[in-house]
């Protein structure tokens, strides 16, 4: 094949590739345009309460309550691979989405919901690991604040500590036997977050460790303490004690599924956190940045590694998810009428 023919073939292939890409893009643009049109219609009937959970068992527990009544005309809207379900709970309008596991998914879904839907605030819920020995599997925690415990400075054994770090984990302190050699994993320094907010000048972030939920909603949630929670997974599998709902503890979030007793104890002793999950601080921080109310309701599914044998999430995860869902329904029932979003400034 001579150079002239090769050049012609290349041009033809390039044209065909461009044509195929253009054709493939048309349905996507049409679907996106249709979704935006549907959202515009839905927003005329708003505002809504935004509900964000994480993965399938939590979503299944929520819908199993039967409290959600889908919108007759537009029961859902599909965006970026997620399905936003629109409906009512006890007559109050809600938009529900399953964001997916991890902080990136949580922040992306929260920002998309705040940007596109007319919501008054976000209720985030699901399950979490229990780090507090005074709490039990099946209990529900509504934390007052969350820390991102996965933002690290990982130092070498001879590294210099950053005075701005909140705390340090010296990995060598957990050697067995104690003091046996040099642990090359060194130390971990826990860093603060940078919060950008609508309440501040653009590009001026504030450093913070604790990200607080909305105080108005937290106060309202205190009326849920004492509510009845489920004790049994089925007729033959029940918790030894009646679960309880506790408001006002601390929570930790990182992109780590915690199933390690030593690290569990370190987090509780160092930061006094009672629960550990992979999404909450991302949802809270996104709401704080945008000036929207937010609250987090988590059912405790396991002991984050303190139990013997397999992680209890496989046994009691569904029960913890159901208790969290029932607490969400009770909280929504106590929310007053819809107003403009309450600004929660730092």
Per residue in 91-110, pLDDT tens? 999 999 999 999 999 999 99
Look up tokens 């600004």; give the residue. 343
Say what the pLDDT of residue 341 is: 42
- Residue 25: what pLDDT? 46
- Top pLDDT among 14 and 145 is at 145
pLDDT of 30 reads: 58
Q: What's the pLDDT at 47?
A: 96
Q: What pLDDT does residue 77 have?
A: 97
pLDDT given at position 184: 86
Are 35 and 97 a contacting pair, CB within 8 Å? no
The pLDDT of residue 7: 54
pLDDT at 137: 97
pLDDT score for 121: 97
- pLDDT of amino acid 272: 98
Copy the structure tokens of residue 111: 């920002």
**For position 29, what pLDDT does the model report?**
55
**pLDDT one-digit tens code per residue, 76-96:** 999 999 999 999 999 999 999
Burial of 196 (0-12, 13-18, 19+ CB in 10 A): middle
The lowest-confidence range among 4-8, 189-193, 311-315, 341-345 is: 341-345
Question: What digits encode the pLDDT tens for the residues 148-160?
Answer: 999 999 988 888 8
Give just the sign of the alpha carbon dihedral 19, 23, 24, 26. positive
Buried b (16+ CB within 10 A) or exposed e, 317-344: bbbbbbbbbbbbebbbeebeebeebeeb
> Chain centroid to CA 270: how far?
23
Whether residue 178 is predicted with pLDDT greater than 70 in this model: the reply is yes
The pLDDT tens digits of the residues spanning 200-252 come to 999 999 999 999 999 999 999 999 999 999 999 999 999 999 999 999 999 99
User: In this predicted model, which residue has the larger pLDDT, 211 or 13?
Assistant: 211
Percentage of the chain with pLDDT > 70?
88
Q: What percent of the chain has pLDDT over 90?
A: 77
> What is the tens place of the pLDDT at every residue in 18-58?
544 554 444 555 556 789 999 999 999 999 999 999 999 99
For the chain, what is the mean pLDDT?
Answer: 90
Residues with Cβ within 8 Å of residue 279, at least 6 apart in sequence: 54, 99, 101, 102, 103, 105, 106, 124, 126, 253
pLDDT (0 to 100) of residue 182: 82
pLDDT band at 343 (very low <50, low <70, confident <90, very high): very low
Q: What is the pLDDT of residue 221?
A: 98
Using 50, 70 and 90 to split pLDDT, how confident is the model at 126?
Answer: very high
Q: What is the distance between the alpha carbons of residues 168 and 155, in angstroms, rounded to a whole number?
A: 10
Mean pLDDT computed over 189-201: 94
Least confident of 128-132, 160-164, 259-263, 326-330: 160-164
In the DSSP assignment, the letter for residue 223 is: G
């Amino acid at each position: 094949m001579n150079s002239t023919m090769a050049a012609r073939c290349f041009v033809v292939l390039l044209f065909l590739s461009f044509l195929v890409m253009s054709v493939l893009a048309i349905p996507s643009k049409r679907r996106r345009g249709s979704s935006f049109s549907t959202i515009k219609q839905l927003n005329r009937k708003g505002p809504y309460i935004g509900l964000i959970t994480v993965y399938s068992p939590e979503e299944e527990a929520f819908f199993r309550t039967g409290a959600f009544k889908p919108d007759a005309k537009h029961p859902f809207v599909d965006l970026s691979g997620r399905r936003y379900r629109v409906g009512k709970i006890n007559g109050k309008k809600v938009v529900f989405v399953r964001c997916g596991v991890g902080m990136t998914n949580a922040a992306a879904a929260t920002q998309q919901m705040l940007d596109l839907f007319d919501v008054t605030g976000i209720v985030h819920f699901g399950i979490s690991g229990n780090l507090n020995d005074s709490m039990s599997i099946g209990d529900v925690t509504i934390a007052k604040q969350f820390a991102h415990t996965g933002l690290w400075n990982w130092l070498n054994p001879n590294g210099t500590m950053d005075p701005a770090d909140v705390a340090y984990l010296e990995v060598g302190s957990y050697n067995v036997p104690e003091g046996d050699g040099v642990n090359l994993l060194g130390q971990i320094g826990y860093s603060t977050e940078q919060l950008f907010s609508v309440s501040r000048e653009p590009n001026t972030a504030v450093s913070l460790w604790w990200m607080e939920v909305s105080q108005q909603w937290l106060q309202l949630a205190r009326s849920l303490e004492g509510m009845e929670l489920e004790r049994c997974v089925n007729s033959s599998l029940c918790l030894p004690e009646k679960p309880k709902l506790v408001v006002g503890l601390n929570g930790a979030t990182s992109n780590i599924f915690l199933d390690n007793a030593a690290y569990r104890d370190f987090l509780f002793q160092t930061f006094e956190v009672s629960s550990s999950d992979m999404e909450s601080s991302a949802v809270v921080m996104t709401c704080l940045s945008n000036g929207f109310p937010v609250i987090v309701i988590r059912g405790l599914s396991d002991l984050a590694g303190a139990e013997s044998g397999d992680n209890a999430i496989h046994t009691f995860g569904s029960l913890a998810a159901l208790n969290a869902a029932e607490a969400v329904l009770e909280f929504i029932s106590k929310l007053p009428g819809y107003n403009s979003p309450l600004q929660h400034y730092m």
